[in-house]
Amino acid sequence: MRTEIKADLMMLGATMLWASSYLFTKVGLQSLETFNLIALRLLIAFLLSALVFHKRVRNASWSTLSSAFVLGSILFLCFVFITFGVRSTSASNAGFLVGLSVIFVPILSILFLKKRPEARLLLCIGLAIIGIGLLTLTSSLTINQGDIYCLLGSLLFAVHMLVTGSVVKQGDAIALGVLQLGFAGLWALSFSFLMETPKLPDTFDAWTSILGLSVLCSAVAFVLQASVQKYASPTRTALIFGMEPLFAAIFAFVFAGETLTSRGYVGAALLLLSVFLAQTDVKKLFDGKRLAVKKHRPVSK
């Protein structure tokens, strides 16, 4: 099997694992408090990742440590908003709304980096706004508080992506990724001691949730991403990551029986379309396909 195909399959596996996190979170919140759940998820993921990449973590520079602290602090806020959001909205809604971070990234770039907006981005923003409205607005034109939290979490993920892009060139990217999990986990543990009564899971479902979130959705998914990122093309990577909300909705339907209204399905489809268009230059994609067809077309005699 070609290296590119293996990379795509591994990236698809990581995307499916990330998509399952909303359902695992939903289950875990039934017996664990919010900061307690976040702390267990991130600290276990940090320990497992640090075990795999222990040499890189031990040799991390002070610059990498300071950058990891900043990224870990932002990541902690991301998980706080998303976890509080999942507590009061559906896992499928959370998946679609958090997936909008790919829309927020270019919007923030326009606002703070003074980049000129493309017509394609303006179309994506319009589709996303309509999709959010159809997916989340009730008959009284109000939005569920959990949906608002998920949108804020998505915005913070976009901030996290931009900050990561600016600091990752200054040190070891893998050490940075591992250490940020540790700092985010320590923030969560501190808030859990201040505002909750932290405890270990005491039911089978709670342990399944925590191990699923920490081992599968964080540690394994992180290792998969780090292993294949340099082999996967940007276009294919973007397309695969854009499938996360769809996988989240499928998992929610299969394992939790969650369904959307007919209006919600239209809104979800518009959100997926906006994410696809935001990550993919459709013109270049089709131009590349036409070039490939011409290249492999047999020459007439």
For residue range 31-88, list pLDDT tens digits in order.
Answer: 999 999 999 999 999 999 999 889 999 999 999 899 999 999 999 999 999 999 999 8
**Cα–Cα distance for residue pair 289/301, rounded to 1 Å:** 24
Q: What is the DSSP string of 236-276?
A: HHHHHHTTHHHHHHHHHHHHH-----HHHHHHHHHHHHHHH
Burial of 165 (0-12, 13-18, 19+ CB in 10 A): exposed
Q: Which of 144-148, 244-248, 291-295 has the lowest mean pLDDT?
A: 291-295
pTM of this prediction?
A: 0.81
Which residue type sits at 7? A
Q: Which SS3 state, helix, strand or coil, does residue 30 take? A: coil
Kindly tell me if the per-residue pLDDT of 301 is higher than 50: no
What value does the mean pLDDT take over residues 105-118?
76
Kindly tell me if the per-residue pLDDT of 199 is higher than 70: yes
For residue range 131-175, list pLDDT tens digits in order.
Answer: 888 887 766 656 888 999 999 999 998 888 888 877 877 778 888
Kindly tell me if the per-residue pLDDT of 20 is higher than 60: yes
Encoded tokens for 174: 């893998």
How high is the pLDDT of residue 279?
67
Residue 159 makes CB contacts below 8 A (sequence gap 6+) with: 74, 108
